[in-house]
Amino acid sequence: MSKSLLWDLAVIIRVRMKKTVPLCLAVVLIFLSSCAREKYVVKIPAPSKTTVLHLPRKERPIESYEVNGERYYPLSEAEGFVQFGKASWYGKPFHGRPTSSGRIFDMHKKSAAHKILPLDTVVKVINLSNQKHTIVPVIDRGPFVKGRVIDLSYAAAQDIELVGPGVVDVKVIALGKELARDYSEGRTDLLVELKEFKTGEFTVQVGAFQNKENASRMGDRLRPLYDYINVLTHLDEKGNTWHRVHVSRSKTLEEAMEIEERLEKIGFTDAFILRI
CA 49/CA 187 separation, integer angstroms: 8
Asked whether residue 6 carries a pLDDT value surpassing 70, the answer given is no
Q: Domains (ranges, CATH) in the chain? A: 3-36 (no CATH), 65-194 (2.40.40.10), 202-275 (3.30.70.1070)
For 195-207, what is each residue's pLDDT tens digit?
555 567 888 988 8
The conformation of residue 93, written as its DSSP 8-state character, comes to G
- Name the region of 7 (left: φ>0; alpha: ψ -120 to 50; beta: rest): alpha
pLDDT, residue 199, reads 61
CA 244/CA 219 separation, integer angstroms: 10
Specify whether the CB–CB gap between 15 and 28 falls below 8 A: no
Q: Which strand (E) or helix (H) includes residue 255?
A: helix 253-265
For 35-54, what is each residue's pLDDT tens digit?
433 333 333 333 332 222 23
The mean per-residue pLDDT over the stretch 161-186 comes to 78
pLDDT confidence tier of residue 179, bands split at 50, 70 and 90: low
For 220-232, what is each residue's pLDDT tens digit?
999 998 989 999 8
User: Hey, which residues does 87 pair with through a beta bridge?
Assistant: 150, 168
pLDDT confidence tier of residue 154, bands split at 50, 70 and 90: very high
Asked whether residue 111 carries a pLDDT value surpassing 90, the answer given is yes
pLDDT confidence tier of residue 182, bands split at 50, 70 and 90: low
H helices within 16-124, ranges in order? 21-33
Packed helices 21-33 and 3-15: angle between N→C axes, nearest 10 degrees: 170
Specify whether the CB–CB gap between 60 and 121 falls below 8 A: no
What would you measure as the largest C-alpha separation in the chain, in angstroms?
Answer: 64
Q: Residue 204 phi/psi, 5° resolution?
A: -120, 125
Burial label for 97, CB within 10 Å (0-12, 13-18, 19+), is: exposed
Average pLDDT of the chain to the nearest whole number: 75
Cα–Cα separations (whole angstroms), residue 33 to 6, 41, 75, 195: 12, 12, 28, 12
Residue 5: partners with Cβ closer than 8 Å, 6 or more residues away: none
156: nearest Cα among 124, 194, 128? 124
For 115-139, what is each residue's pLDDT tens digit?
999 898 889 999 999 999 988 889 9
